[in-house]
Chains A and B, each alone.
Chain A
Amino acid sequence: MKPADKPASTGFDPARLIENHQAGVWRYLRALGCDPALADDLTQETFLHVLRQPFEDYNVAATASYLRRSALNIYITLQRRNGRVVAVEDVEKFDQTWTAWAGSDSGDNVVEALRDCLKLLTERARLALEMRFRDDRSRSEIATALEITEHGAKNLMQRAKQQLRACIDEKLNR
């Protein structure tokens, strides 16, 4: 087999690029609504797309932002191909929040902050979120388990999430 020609050198290390940013891209895609398998696929697609283009690594935040934009475009293209429409304005707001929370560290700090913040919640609130996000239980099931109304369960989770948002903001901005 004839060996392939080597690409020209630009001092760029794709392995490190992938290693440093893959978690951030993957989490970003998950937050956009991809299931884990699709997030795997699109993360791979994102890096392949970026590696095919001329690319300069200015700094971590800029690269992360570039990768997210590429991931988003690939995601939108896939959705459109599947006959779905993505509200771009919503995505822009989404991206702003993401940048504020996990713009340059792939989201690891958010995970840590979230673990700490969860400890500040009441037992019932934490339990409600656990049932919702760990067990995928419906709102009515959560309400039944906690012996409250469905509306009460909704309010409980909303308040808990507001508390978590505020707590994470505080920890990340400190």
Chain B
Amino acid sequence: MTDRDDPILDAFLREVFGGPKPPNLSGRILQSWAAQQVQAPPTEGSLPTNPVWQQAASFSEPQAPPVQVPTVVPPPVEVVPRTIAAAGRSVEIRRKNSNSAFPSIIAVSGLALLMAGASVWVRGWTSNPSAKNHVAQHGEKKNGTGTSSPVKPRVTPDVVAKSNDGPKKNNVVAIDKGTSPNKVAVTPAPNKLPDDRRDFNSNGKSPNSANSNSVRPDFLAANSQKNLPTSSESEIVAFINNTLRTAWKEKGVMPSADATDAEWCRRTFLRLIGRIPKVEELNRFVEDRSAGKRQALVDQLVSGETYAEEYAANWASIWSNILIGRNGGASDEAQQSRGGLLQYLRQAFHQNKPYNQLVYELISATGSNKPGERDYNGAVNFLLANQNDKGTLATTRVSRVFLGSQLHCAQCHAHPTNDWNQEQFWQLNAFFRQMQVDRDKKTGAARLVNRDFTGEGSGKSDGEIYFEQQDGKVRVAYPVFIDGTSIPHSGSVEEVNRRQELAKLVAQSDNLSQAVVNRVWAHFLGFGFTKPIDDISAHNAPSHPVLLERLSKEFAGHGYDLKQLMKWMTMSEAFGLSSKMSGQNRVDMPDAGTLPLFSHYYSRQMQAEELFQSLEMLANARKNGTTAGEREKAKQAFLGKLTKNNANDEGAEEHIFQSIPRSLFMVNGEITQRALLPNHESMLGKVAESNLSPEAKIEHLFLAALSRKPTKRELTSAKAVLATAGESSIAGFQDLWWVLLNSNEFILDH
């Protein structure tokens, strides 16, 4: 509980302590309504009757003096406009309320824009006749006086061209430790960015628009230039199946039998929406005799309206764990808001935002983390959680999560097993040096902003950073992406917004699609193509490189559509195999250190969130007298018990799922207790009170917990449990239900 926990009481307290009181809006409302009626005469019988427009026409609102309405469209009733104080408010609302004034506003605004545009054009033309050419190439930049001028080329002409040959070395000069940084000579910077990156803002919107969900910069959709494949779903699924079959043949492995419909249904629900299926959902699927029922279920879970909320919430939860960890934002002191990030991600997954756009927004985000503020942007919580004094945490997290490259070793020394060196780490890190956090003590908000970075010593605008090698020498670094692409050195935000440039580079990188395909594959199939999944490199080669590459290209070619990617994987043969191993695929045991062959479904424990959500569903908690807030608190409390943050630069967490706290939680935790409540809202209560036979009741409980019917032996044992409590007694069903929920099978995804 906080001191802001009661919005109703808080609102009344504000009023009582002298805050704004309810105003008299009668005149304003009546006049707006009257104006609307004149525009659109009411239908018979649908409206009140009093001569309201007569009241409205004669009404004069003392607080709001009428403003002359332009005569572009003569309003039938004079609309009393808003006061000046309301000028900054929602134009959209005002438009709807005052239909007659709307065309006037458009006309006046259009005229003003036309005049402003003409003015800018004339000034630009007269002050610099060549300006229009520069503008055409580079767009405009505002100088300090507010006048327009073209982008000035850098002093030196050297251009570091984008190259895939590896990182560039020519922009770093070693100096002796102790030498004044001001005297460091550095290789000149490239004079300009490639046009495709500089001019991405061709839609006229602010490039700093991570909080604008509808804006998708053109460069994010430019994959047609890369000749990426866009095969059909059946072709891609066939490619997955054929590639895996070839590997099975090479290794002399035979795949397991197909999973039953019920097994497949259970795992599909778990993987896609994070909970096991309800009995009715399971029965509906199993009893469906149509050939395309698996495809239909996947489509329904991924794109259907029924599951839209659960789908978005599940993937928001998964990605918030990836981005800020399970503990991130859980404490009151944290500057990031887990809720804010979840909200942003829920929205993104609900809209099926292209993955590269999502990443672009997360990396380039600016704004406040506090809901209700004008610049509120939930995406900022990712970098707020990974912000430290030199941005090393953000560097590590971005490279690991989005690029599948573990650079963190290279912060202090050259990577022991791959080609990453210290210089590359700090070059990537230099992209984050304009990032700063403003804390508003009054509201408690944290605001992610970009500020000019003047470097770590020279005081010039080059924004250089220094790092110390193991031999004691200090070297200088400027922003260079991991593929060697560099950007202008300037630390001035107006000249180069480094985070935005990084976001563009990441969003266009081939590594991006490889990293996410590997991650999503591991989510569905149990193991990724590499282990760990966020370390794809020559020293840690993928188990199925051709498949990873093809899926990555198809994913990019299909517009970074995550839902599409999930469909390919869930419809694959490997996802539909039984988890039971046969004598002919026992070598396929990635747990024991072998390369995964995906010749059977790899059983795994449910994730903590999946377990919680499944129990919550079985307890019918949503309808069982608990609020969303209470459920979220209970969930976070549960997750908090199972996760320990290691507080290191990698943001690593220790997952203690196989532990005594987890066992105790299952034995007598709050959510288990709630699932055992025999009231008429809970599943158990409904089954126990139903007219079903004892056998049918037992069967129902097995289906609910394990998605299968009991075996004969289990049925006999279950009847024995009921008999000890008397068959009509609820206690017997509670005992049986408790046993099922505490069985190993229940917590397995198999």
Interface residues of A (CB under 8 A from B): 1, 4-15, 17-19, 22-23, 26-27, 30-33, 36-38, 40-45, 47-48, 51-55, 78, 83-85, 87-90, 92-94, 97-98, 101, 106-107, 110-111, 114-115, 118, 129-130, 132-134, 136-141, 153-154, 157-158, 161, 164-165, 168
Considering residues A13, A14, A90, A164, which has the most beta carbons from chain B within 10 angstroms of its beta carbon? A14
Q: Which of B49-57, B458-466, B685-693 interfaces with chain A? A: B49-57
Asked if residues A93 and B343 are in contact (CB atoms below 8 Å), the reply is no
In the bound complex, what is the Cα–Cα distance between A58 and B94 (angstroms)? 31
Asked if residues A37 and B89 are in contact (CB atoms below 8 Å), the reply is yes
A6-B51, A22-B24 given; A44·B3 CB < 8 A = no
In the bound complex, what is the Cα–Cα distance between A96 and B440 (angstroms)? 33
Q: Which 10 A-B pairs have the closest CB atoms?
A: A12-B48, A9-B49, A89-B628, A23-B22, A134-B17, A31-B11, A7-B47, A36-B20, A157-B3, A4-B38
Asked if residues A8 and B47 are in contact (CB atoms below 8 Å), the reply is yes
Asked if residues A138 and B25 are in contact (CB atoms below 8 Å), the reply is no
Please name 16 further chain A to chain B contacts, defined as beta carbons within 8 Å, in addition to the given A48-B33, A93-B629, sorted by A numbering.
Answer: A1-B74, A4-B41, A4-B53, A18-B30, A40-B86, A45-B93, A47-B33, A51-B33, A87-B628, A87-B629, A89-B628, A90-B629, A115-B16, A133-B14, A140-B441, A165-B9
Which residues between 19 and 78 of chain B lie within 8 Å of chain A, taking CB atoms? 19-20, 22-26, 28-30, 32-33, 36-38, 41-42, 44-53, 55, 74, 76
Residues from chain B with Cβ under 8 Å of A133 in the complex: 10, 13-14, 17, 19
In the bound complex, what is the Cα–Cα distance between A42 and B46 (angstroms)? 22
In the bound complex, what is the Cα–Cα distance between A44 and B162 (angstroms)? 56
Asked if residues A7 and B49 are in contact (CB atoms below 8 Å), the reply is yes
B205 contacts the other chain (Cβ, under 8 Å)? no
Asked if residues A165 and B6 are in contact (CB atoms below 8 Å), the reply is yes
A37-B85, A89-B627, A89-B628 given; A44·B28 CB < 8 A = yes
A12-B48, A37-B89 given; A111·B16 CB < 8 A = yes
19 sample A-B contacts, Cβ–Cβ < 8 Å, listed by A number: A4-B53, A12-B49, A15-B26, A15-B55, A22-B26, A27-B11, A37-B89, A40-B25, A41-B89, A41-B94, A47-B25, A51-B47, A54-B47, A90-B628, A90-B629, A93-B627, A111-B15, A134-B19, A161-B9
A15-B50, A98-B8 given; A26·B23 CB < 8 A = yes
Asked if residues A130 and B8 are in contact (CB atoms below 8 Å), the reply is no
- From B22, B97, B344, B372, A33 is in contact (CB under 8 Å) with B372
A14-B48, A48-B29, A89-B627 given; A154·B2 CB < 8 A = yes
Asked if residues B55 and A53 are in contact (CB atoms below 8 Å), the reply is no
B1 contacts the other chain (Cβ, under 8 Å)? yes
Chain B interface size band reads 35 or more
In the bound complex, what is the Cα–Cα distance between A87 and B41 (angstroms)? 37
Asked if residues B1 and A158 are in contact (CB atoms below 8 Å), the reply is yes
Asked if residues A7 and B627 are in contact (CB atoms below 8 Å), the reply is no
Closest chain B residue, CB of each to CB of A81: B92
In the bound complex, what is the Cα–Cα distance between A83 and B9 (angstroms)? 27
Asked if residues A44 and B48 are in contact (CB atoms below 8 Å), the reply is no
Residues from chain A with Cβ under 8 Å of B96 in the complex: 45, 48
A11-B49, A12-B48, A15-B30 given; A97·B8 CB < 8 A = yes
In the bound complex, what is the Cα–Cα distance between A168 and B483 (angstroms)? 65
Residues from chain B with Cβ under 8 Å of A157 in the complex: 3
Asked if residues A7 and B25 are in contact (CB atoms below 8 Å), the reply is no
Q: Main SS of chain A's interface residues?
A: helix
Closest chain A residue, CB of each to CB of B87: A37
The minimal Cβ–Cβ distance linking A86 to chain B, given in whole angstroms, is: 10
Asked if residues A85 and B347 are in contact (CB atoms below 8 Å), the reply is yes
In the bound complex, what is the Cα–Cα distance between A40 and B76 (angstroms)? 24
B594 contacts the other chain (Cβ, under 8 Å)? no
Asked if residues A83 and B93 are in contact (CB atoms below 8 Å), the reply is no
A14-B52, A130-B17 given; A107·B9 CB < 8 A = no
- From A11, A38, A114, A137, B89 is in contact (CB under 8 Å) with A38
- From B17, B44, B441, B627, A138 is in contact (CB under 8 Å) with B441
B539 contacts the other chain (Cβ, under 8 Å)? no
B371 contacts the other chain (Cβ, under 8 Å)? yes
Asked if residues B41 and A18 are in contact (CB atoms below 8 Å), the reply is no
Asked if residues B29 and A18 are in contact (CB atoms below 8 Å), the reply is yes
In the bound complex, what is the Cα–Cα distance between A11 and B49 (angstroms)? 6
A37-B85, A129-B17 given; A44·B53 CB < 8 A = no
A26-B22, A133-B13 given; A158·B90 CB < 8 A = no
B397 contacts the other chain (Cβ, under 8 Å)? no
Closest chain A residue, CB of each to CB of B18: A134
Asked if residues A110 and B47 are in contact (CB atoms below 8 Å), the reply is no
Residues from chain A with Cβ under 8 Å of B41 in the complex: 4-5, 7
Asked if residues B627 and A90 are in contact (CB atoms below 8 Å), the reply is yes
The minimal Cβ–Cβ distance linking A52 to chain B, given in whole angstroms, is: 8
Closest chain A residue, CB of each to CB of B52: A14
Residues from chain B with Cβ under 8 Å of A55 in the complex: 48
Closest chain B residue, CB of each to CB of A48: B33
In the bound complex, what is the Cα–Cα distance between A90 and B629 (angstroms)? 6
The minimal Cβ–Cβ distance linking A76 to chain B, given in whole angstroms, is: 14
Asked if residues B50 and A129 are in contact (CB atoms below 8 Å), the reply is no
B442 contacts the other chain (Cβ, under 8 Å)? yes
Which residues between 186 and 209 of chain B lie within 8 Å of chain A, taking CB atoms? none
A15-B55, A107-B12, A140-B441 given; A27·B22 CB < 8 A = yes
In the bound complex, what is the Cα–Cα distance between A57 and B210 (angstroms)? 46
In the bound complex, what is the Cα–Cα distance between A90 and B627 (angstroms)? 6
Residues from chain A with Cβ under 8 Å of B44 in the complex: 8
Residues from chain A with Cβ under 8 Å of B622 in the complex: 89
B211 contacts the other chain (Cβ, under 8 Å)? yes
In the bound complex, what is the Cα–Cα distance between A97 and B371 (angstroms)? 23
A53-B46, A118-B16 given; A85·B29 CB < 8 A = no
In the bound complex, what is the Cα–Cα distance between A18 and B29 (angstroms)? 8
In the bound complex, what is the Cα–Cα distance between A88 and B22 (angstroms)? 25
Asked if residues B52 and A15 are in contact (CB atoms below 8 Å), the reply is yes
Residues from chain B with Cβ under 8 Å of A22 in the complex: 22, 24-26, 29
Considering residues A7, A9, A26, A41, which has the most beta carbons from chain B within 10 angstroms of its beta carbon? A7
B7 contacts the other chain (Cβ, under 8 Å)? yes
B346 contacts the other chain (Cβ, under 8 Å)? yes
In the bound complex, what is the Cα–Cα distance between A19 and B94 (angstroms)? 21
Asked if residues A18 and B26 are in contact (CB atoms below 8 Å), the reply is yes
Residues from chain A with Cβ under 8 Å of B93 in the complex: 41-42, 44-45, 78
Closest chain A residue, CB of each to CB of B76: A1
Asked if residues B76 and A114 are in contact (CB atoms below 8 Å), the reply is no
Residues from chain B with Cβ under 8 Å of A32 in the complex: 7
In the bound complex, what is the Cα–Cα distance between A93 and B38 (angstroms)? 40
